[in-house]
Chain A
């Protein structure tokens, strides 16, 4: 077997990855102020709309999914 990739075994690399991720988020927030918008809906042109909507969507998604699990989760051999 050839040598293994281990870049994410080092906590320093994970930190770097997360760090650059947060920086890119910040850049995206800043660029938004300088972009010319062509909105079909009033909210579409609002500052940082997509950032807020994306974040809320995913939190909501997880929240609802967790509630859904209460109702639909069954053992793997449920149908057998």
Chain B
């Protein structure tokens, strides 16, 4: 085993050589990397490899078990698909960032200790930022800046939690933690931020729609799903996750209905789908964990397919808002078809991938007699079909003809979508192979009469509601507008903070300037200039009066003293007298 290259290194080191290749060789090289990773992956038996001892800690770069393998498979598969999709985009920065990013995801997946996990966790954050920056628009630069700041915050929470955890427990092993104590909550917050659990979710809907067409494909697959993996390892059975996950499935769908930017609709539906996974982790039974893992697997594929097909529209037309699109099926029928396959899969239509995975989580909720959760998940399922299943394809490809006549995207993009669409359907029809790689033995049959009919009724009558609402004109119109989300707190709050700090500190500064530099300094100047004259006169004037000096002579004497002290030429006698008086005063005061 030890002679094999560590899996994450294939992508991370491989990325460094991308600029040295040209033309078709570059394409072949980039496609070969995930293939090599996949071959390495399937030849890895369970166990721990690539252990490096640093400062008394074992950094484990290869902890292989069933849970890490599933995520390893899907991350490698989606990297291949993503690279195929991106071949025609001549931007090495994006390509290198994508491979670094995928390497980070594999690193997180196969990390056996928390320090290694943290290392790759940060690599995920940094490399993915470049996929947003690479769009090279003002909006994307700003979104990328916010994105990295939020992730640095999450990363620091995770790091603090890890340091406390290692200090308390004496072990750095990356395994079950459970929610108890400050360390565990800090780790939980760090992971929850990457999993986009509300209210820590807005970075996702803020940044992903600003990413490049190809970058969004990688983004949709890696960050949240590696967080799902880490959550499934560290906090299975945490009841808090059931409730947070259930809220996470419903909150975004309201936004998705209102949203005008198609890729932002998909970002919201991504959060909704990860909500199902969080519920599964929270329930924590074998069925629920199997459901979560298989749903993550299927979700990566159909979400990537949706981001690829809508991304193709953006790539070919330069437009992505509902209000700008419509009628594109006429000239982009294949892209439209792929989008609809992705939409059917995310909606969990029978014979599509979402059906065989999501239903395991909902069944686990039913087995646990979690009635409210079950009803919530069913509501969310209907809602998903509504916005991701119908709205996305409808407003992008059908709806009112926008007059846009764009061609299909290049062949490599169509091929990437075709492969993904094939996998979505293949898993839906024949889930056996997917079930066989899940962490626990699967005793679940998705295709029963009641389940198929129940699901079809739920979806089709949801569609009926959509039809009737659209035809009646009650459906909320697509508008060129944005909708406030919790990012308001740091976007507006950040500015508020800036202005408040500006007012407070610059105010303090100007007040200090006025008091210290202005008033106090000139006062001290005056005192030090006039003080000695006044002190001298205070004592000399009564003496002069007593000895009979009056009138003009007295005024002349005063003037002489002022001049003498001003120029530093006072008679020694006066200075000595003043010093003596000063000493006497001090002596008396003491």
Q: Identify the A interface with B (CB < 8 A).
A: 1-2, 4-6, 8, 18, 21, 24-25, 28-29, 31-32, 35-41, 44, 48-55, 57-62, 64-66, 68-69, 71-76, 78-79
Contact = CB atoms under 8 A, between A and B. Distances in A.
Nearest to A32: B453
Interface string B367-389: 10101001000110011001000
Interface stretch (B188-196, B481-489, B536-544): B481-489
A58 B383 contact: yes
Contacts of A79: 482, 491-492
Interface in B446-489: 448-450, 453-467, 469, 474-476, 479-485
CB-based closest 8 A-B pairs: A58-B465, A40-B366, A54-B458, A50-B457, A57-B382, A54-B461, A65-B257, A51-B457
B467 A21 contact: yes
B482 A75 contact: yes
A79 B465 CA distance: 34
5 contacts: A5-B333, A51-B457, A54-B462, A74-B482, A79-B492
A32 B465 CA distance: 19
A68 to B, nearest CB: 5
A30 to B, nearest CB: 10
Given A61-B254, A65-B257, A78 B382 contact: no
Contact of B481 (A4, A50, A68, A76): A76
A65 B387 CA distance: 12
A58 B462 CA distance: 5
Nearest to B256: A65
A62 B465 contact: yes
B: contact size bracket:
35 or more
A56 to B, nearest CB: 8
Given A8-B398, A31-B453, A69 B461 contact: no
B137 interface: no
A75 B481 contact: yes
B331 interface: yes
At the interface, is chain B mostly helix, strand, loop or mixed? Answer: helix
Contact of A59 (B255, B405, B469, B484): B469
Contact of A40 (B333, B367, B407, B474): B367
A21 B463 CA distance: 9
Interface string B300-325: 00000000000000000000000000
B407 A1 contact: yes
Contacts, number: 150
A25 B460 contact: yes
Contact of B331 (A4, A40, A52): A4
Contacts of B482: 73-76, 78-79
Given A41-B366, A57-B462, A74-B483, 6 more contacts: A52-B461, A54-B462, A58-B382, A60-B379, A62-B474, A74-B482
B475 A51 contact: no
Contact of B469 (A18, A62, A78): A62
B485 A72 contact: yes
A31 B451 CA distance: 12
A41 to B, nearest CB: 6
B382 A61 contact: yes
Given A55-B465, A58-B386, A64-B254, A6 B330 contact: yes
Contacts of A25: 460-461, 464
Nearest to A64: B254
Contacts of A1: 331, 405, 407
B485 A36 contact: no
B445 to A, nearest CB: 11
Nearest to A49: B454
Contacts of A65: 254-255, 257-258, 476
Contacts of B475: 62
A50 B383 contact: no
Contacts of A74: 481-484
Nearest to B469: A62
A48 B303 CA distance: 31
A74 B488 CA distance: 11
A5 B458 contact: no
B253 interface: yes
Given A1-B331, A38-B448, A57 B378 contact: yes
A80 to B, nearest CB: 9
B416 to A, nearest CB: 22
A2 B462 CA distance: 36
Q: Which of A41, A65, A73 has the most CB of B within 10 A?
A: A65
Contacts of A24: 460
A38 B448 CA distance: 10
